[in-house]
Structure 1
Amino acid sequence: MKFQHTNTYAAPIERVRAMLNDPAFREQVATRVGALSCSAAFGNGKLVVREEQPVQGVPAFAKKFAGGATTVIHTEIWDEAGTSATITLETPGKPITQAGSVALTEAAGVTTHSYTLEVSASVPLIGGKLEKLVADLTTAGLVTEGQVGAEWLASHS
């Protein structure tokens, strides 16, 4: 299942790129989404964020796959210009994969941060339901990322 999400920031691309690759920003987003733990690192164009997420409010059909907590390893590998990246969201031991791209564009001092992701669930019969659930949960996290990002940029000017 393919889905897209876009956050828009009233800041130039350089500031947004610096924020997105700042481990402190990623840890703040993780705290806001309720992560149990988070570590983030950026170097040589590669961002890796590892979070332990509690499993809450999951429908009955997904509970046996979700367990009590889920590790998410979020990796972005940026191009030399710092305007596009490949992205993977891995959940070790779970039948879900997410991969796609990230893009940053700027117009008149406003930066658009776009995600295009493909979610795949390797579970017969309910794979489509799991993909929709994961896409919805990921989108909710990206909405929160946009809110934290706007606050971060306002307070780090």
Structure 2
Amino acid sequence: MARRIEHHTTSPHSAEKVYGAMVDETYLRDRLAAIGGKDAQLVTYSSTGENTSYQLKQGVPAEHVPSAVKAALGGDLVIQRTEAWAAGAGTVEVAVNGVPGRLEGSFTVLDNGSGSKLTLSGEVKVSIPFLGGKIEKLIAEQVAILLDKENEFTSQWLANRG
């Protein structure tokens, strides 16, 4: 069974500026360096006119992974995240090493009052008998935490650039 995820973050910056950061290669490298975790890297990056796509690798050391999940993984948690963006909207696919499942969803960045709102709508599905639901819940919770951290980073990164 899949678990729906919908998460919102707000920024004091316009949707145009937030979107601009989300597709900026320097921003992505800076964000990974600051909060990407173990062995984080920008694996691929392509930008052609209005379309930008990239793949990120992020890591969580095994000692920070719940024991039930750690047993299934057999080590560190490695997250492969692929995003494609165009005109203030994007898609995301997330796969986790050793886990038969994924997160798929879409992002929107819209102006909201004097700032903007970033929304992720998606679904987490893990096909492991008995543990799938527990891992789906964990992934959804961790994605929300990560998006909040990324939002804080983005706001600060944009503030530092005037």
Instruction: Verify: 1:16 aligned to 2:18, yes or no.
Output: yes
- Taking structure 2 as the reference length, the TM-score comes to 0.84
Instruction: Verify: 1:61 aligned to 2:92, yes or no.
Output: no
Paired position in structure 2 for 1:137: 142
**Matched residue SS, 1:56:** helix
More off after superposition, 39-48 vs 131-140: 39-48
Superposition CA RMSD, Å: 1.9
Identity %: 23
Instruction: Report if aligned partners of 1:75, 1:89 keep a CA contact under 8 Å in 2.
Output: yes
1:47-69 per-residue CA deviation (whole Å, 9 max, x = no partner) reads 32222332333332212223322
Instruction: Report if aligned partners of 1:42, 1:48 keep a CA contact under 8 Å in 2.
Output: no
Instruction: Report if aligned partners of 1:103, 1:114 keep a CA contact under 8 Å in 2.
Output: yes
Distance 1:136 1:37 in 2: 22
Aligned match for 1:36, one of 21, 35, 38: 38
What amino acid maps onto 1:64 in structure 2? A
Aligned match for 1:150, one of 143, 147, 155: 155
Instruction: Give the C-alpha shift of residue 140 in structure 1.
Output: 1.0
Instruction: Verify: 1:77 aligned to 2:77, yes or no.
Output: no
Work out the number of aligned pairs and report it: 155
- Taking structure 1 as the reference length, the TM-score comes to 0.86
What amino acid maps onto 1:28 in structure 2? D
Instruction: Report if aligned partners of 1:23, 1:39 keep a CA contact under 8 Å in 2.
Output: no
What amino acid maps onto 1:113 in structure 2? L
Instruction: Report if aligned partners of 1:23, 1:42 keep a CA contact under 8 Å in 2.
Output: no
Change in Cα spacing, 1:29 to 1:65, as seen in structure 2 (3 Å) is farther
Flag structure 2 segments of 5+ consecutive residues without an equivalent: none
Change in Cα spacing, 1:21 to 1:34, as seen in structure 2 (3 Å) is closer
Flag structure 1 segments of 5+ consecutive residues without an equivalent: none
Change in Cα spacing, 1:120 to 1:112, as seen in structure 2 (3 Å) is same
Change in Cα spacing, 1:20 to 1:91, as seen in structure 2 (3 Å) is same
Paired position in structure 1 for 2:115: 110
Distance 1:16 1:34 in 2: 18
Paired position in structure 2 for 1:89: 94
What amino acid maps onto 2:76 in structure 1? A
Paired position in structure 2 for 1:51: 58
